Chain A
Amino acid sequence: EAQVTQNPRYLITVTGKKLTVTCSQNMNHEYMSWYRQDPGLGLRQIYYSMNVEVTDKGDVPEGYKVSRKEKRNFPLILESPSPNQTSLYFCASSLVQGTIYNEQFFGPGTRLTVL
């Protein structure tokens, strides 16, 4: 089944304790992206990647890191989490085909709480 998976789905942690949220897709998609969703602010893009070893900042990259060493994986790293990073996080992926833009597939979300 074509899907985007995220782990963990729920995480409660403390300020400053490094964590990684994994994202994996099995559709051979070139494009992958991370969003965070907060009440009243909607979904905002954190980082994105157009292909292996190609990443770039989205609208709210501060406090986050990403890497794209393999096409299928796009982990989100919080080196020193803070309470303002408490949020619902989504990973998404899509094909890149010329100028015809395809649907983006979203993962189920990771609910992160930083105390």
Chain B
Amino acid sequence: DAKTTQPTSMDCAEGRAANLPCNHSTISGNEYVYWYRQIHSQGPQYIIHGLKNNETNEMASLIITEDRKSSTLILPHATLRDTAVYYCIARGGSNYKLTFGKGTLLTVNP
């Protein structure tokens, strides 16, 4: 799986959009980009995944650049409950293992 690079931490004001970047410059054509988050030692929670096209669900939007070397997770209206560590993972082929890096600690401030 391709290595991903994320900022260590980010802050966001409550009610504003949180934009979390991820670099995956060595991603291969069959690797998806996944985002999970972990709220204070709880089990990681799936957010969204995509291959080429931008994706949106009830939790977030995922914007993948045309060259697929980077992506951005967007939480449109961050709340205090969105404070968590966010993990960007590239996974593909027949590998079901999720390789978690250090992720980005997003702190949503009142």
- Interface residues contributed by chain A, number (CB under 8 Å): 24
Give the contacts of B66-97 with A (CB-CB under 8 A): 91-92, 96-97
Pick the residue among B41, B92, B98, B103 that contacts A109 (CB under 8 A).
B41
Give the contacts of B28-61 with A (CB-CB under 8 A): 32, 41-46, 49
Taking residues whose C-beta sits less than 8 angstroms from the other chain, chain B's interface range is 10 to 19
CA distance A101 to B42 in the complex (A): 23
Q: State the Cβ distance, A66 to closest chain B Cβ, in Å.
A: 15
Task: Find out whether the CB atom of A4 lies under 8 angstroms from the CB atom of B91.
Answer: no
Give the contacts of A56-110 with B (CB-CB under 8 A): 58-59, 88, 90, 92, 94, 96, 101, 103-109
Task: Find out whether the CB atom of A31 lies under 8 angstroms from the CB atom of B96.
Answer: yes
Task: Find out whether the CB atom of B97 lies under 8 angstroms from the CB atom of A48.
Answer: yes
CA distance A4 to B46 in the complex (A): 13
Task: Find out whether the CB atom of B44 lies under 8 angstroms from the CB atom of A106.
Answer: yes
Task: Find out whether the CB atom of A106 lies under 8 angstroms from the CB atom of B96.
Answer: no
Q: State the Cβ distance, B53 to closest chain A Cβ, in Å.
A: 14
Q: State the Cβ distance, B64 to closest chain A Cβ, in Å.
A: 16
Interface residues of chain A, those whose CB is within 8 Å of chain B, are: 4, 31, 33, 42-43, 45, 48, 50, 58-59, 88, 90, 92, 94, 96, 101, 103-109, 111
Interface residues of chain B, those whose CB is within 8 Å of chain A, are: 32, 41-46, 49, 91-92, 96-98, 100-103
6 closest A-B pairs by CB = A106-B43, A103-B46, A43-B100, A42-B100, A106-B44, A45-B97
20 CB < 8 A contacts A-B: A4-B43, A33-B96, A42-B100, A45-B97, A48-B96, A48-B97, A88-B41, A90-B44, A92-B43, A92-B98, A94-B96, A101-B32, A101-B49, A101-B91, A101-B92, A104-B46, A106-B43, A106-B45, A109-B41, A109-B43
